[in-house]
Structure 1
Amino acid sequence: MEKQYFNLMQFFEGYVRNYRRMNLSHLHNRSMFTKREIDYFATLGEMLGFDAFVEDSKFDKTKGRSRPMDLSWWKWDARFDDENFLYLALHLERENVWNKDVETIEKLFSQTEEAYIPHNVIGIQFIESAERIDYINNLILQKNKTQKSNTMMIYRYYDTEFDLERVCAYSFTPMGLSEVRTAICNQDQSSCWYMCFDEEFAPFQNNKDSVHSMSVRI
């Protein structure tokens, strides 16, 4: 079946603009952040007509066993097959631990059965610093030569200069890197977390020369 690709940057825009609605505050632990974000994408998938499964699994040929998927979207249509899903529309992984970034990529691009190759892939990965992005992106480009998924990686890391989180989304087609967007994640006056794009963050507009600019690297 021909692969069905999403506009993943549109998904990122919704993720940024709706982050405040997740009602996450300084009182929540990291596990709750993971749960709320995965639940957000699960609800999105269901609204788009897919069957969404949290903690799904797929077989990893390299390891010889099944490995978990944080979230999957499956396409079901009884007009074409009333016993099996038509395809795996999306595989999403979210990882808080920055030194598990390579493991996250291995999960998203594992060698698996044909029916479990995802048409679209999203990774939300905390990293130690921006310097790690090129390494992970090159790993994705290498692995996606075989898998050929539509891919978006969302990198999050702490910016000491501005005392906030940087959120950088890289979109890949099977041909390579296609688009980059950047945002910030910070707490508002009520200590709840929100996101907004760099170009919408007022302190950046007042100090443009100091803002870290992300460049597209292919």
Structure 2
Amino acid sequence: MLEKQYFNLMQFFEGYVRNYRRMNLSHLHNRSMFTKREIDYFANLGEMLGFDVFIEDSKFDKLKGRSRPMDLSWWKWDARIDDENFLYLALHLERENVWNKDVDTIEKLFSLTEEGYVPHNVIGIQYIESPERIDFLNDLVIQKNAVQKSNALMIYRYYDNELHLERVCAYYFTPTGLNEVRTAICTQDESGYWFMCFDEEYAPFQEKRGGH
């Protein structure tokens, strides 16, 4: 069996944040378009890295006894090693708008499946109702990943009513547990297009800390 190939998924999050404006999402776009553009972003990234990429791929779920769709998958192919089969599932990504499907998103990413379909890396992008939900979801990730042993990046997005912007919280897990946390914001620029930046780079946060 091939040794698992892990990515530095927090680096993927940095790219997601810094390139978000390039997705050209404005106040005119609906939620479905946000989902499509974000999945397309990671699909293009996978292709540039040399993987075979599939949108709405499928993976067998042993507990449910049926195949379930994967929003996005990256597969590793190398004819020098095997010219008939993919070597492994490099990445499984799920992107969910509906906050009450947060547990279902995690169950998809960490489902009990056939050996060849166990992903080496997973990314979950999930809107949640409030930040109080994060600890519960992260405990569930740690519990399930103790069995699956993937690299995992969980990105939680929620609306901050006080600041009137979206908070974006990324938690990077290795098979041994939580490794790193980064936070960003998502808001509209003056022309109505959405962009992201890290908390420490967002000028209004710096002004507030400086007492201005």
* TM-score normalized by the length of structure 1: 0.95
Q: Which residue of 2 aligns with 1:196?
A: 197
Instruction: Using the TM superposition, give the Cα deviation of residue 209 of structure 1 relative to its aligned residue in structure 2, in angstroms.
Output: 8.2
Q: Percent identity?
A: 82
Matches within 5 A, 1:165-176: 165-176=166-177
Give 3-state SS (helix, strand or coil) of 1:136's partner. helix
CA offset digits 1:197-217 (Å, max 9, x no partner):
00000000011289xxxxxxx
Q: Which residue of 2 aligns with 1:206?
A: 207
Instruction: Point out 4+ residue stretches in structure 1 off by more than 4 angstroms.
Output: none
How many pairs are equivalent? 210
Unaligned runs of at least 5 residues, structure 1: 211-218
Q: Which residue of 1 aligns with 2:44?
A: 43
Give 3-state SS (helix, strand or coil) of 1:207's partner. helix
Q: Which residue of 1 aligns with 2:109?
A: 108
C-alpha RMSD over aligned residues: 0.9
CA offset digits 1:97-133 (Å, max 9, x no partner):
0000000000000000000000000000000010000
Matches within 5 A, 1:120-199: 120-199=121-200
Q: Which residue of 1 aligns with 2:15?
A: 14
Q: Which residue of 1 aligns with 2:83?
A: 82
The amino acid that maps onto 2:130 is S
Q: Distance in 2 between matches of 1:42 and 1:97?
A: 22
Give 3-state SS (helix, strand or coil) of 2:113's partner. coil
The amino acid that maps onto 2:158 is Y
The amino acid that maps onto 2:31 is R
Matches within 5 A, 1:18-37: 18-37=19-38
Q: Distance in 1 between matches of 2:210 and 2:75?
A: 45
Matched, 1:96 2:97: yes
Deviates more, 1:47-56 or 1:201-210: 201-210
* TM-score normalized by the length of structure 2: 0.98
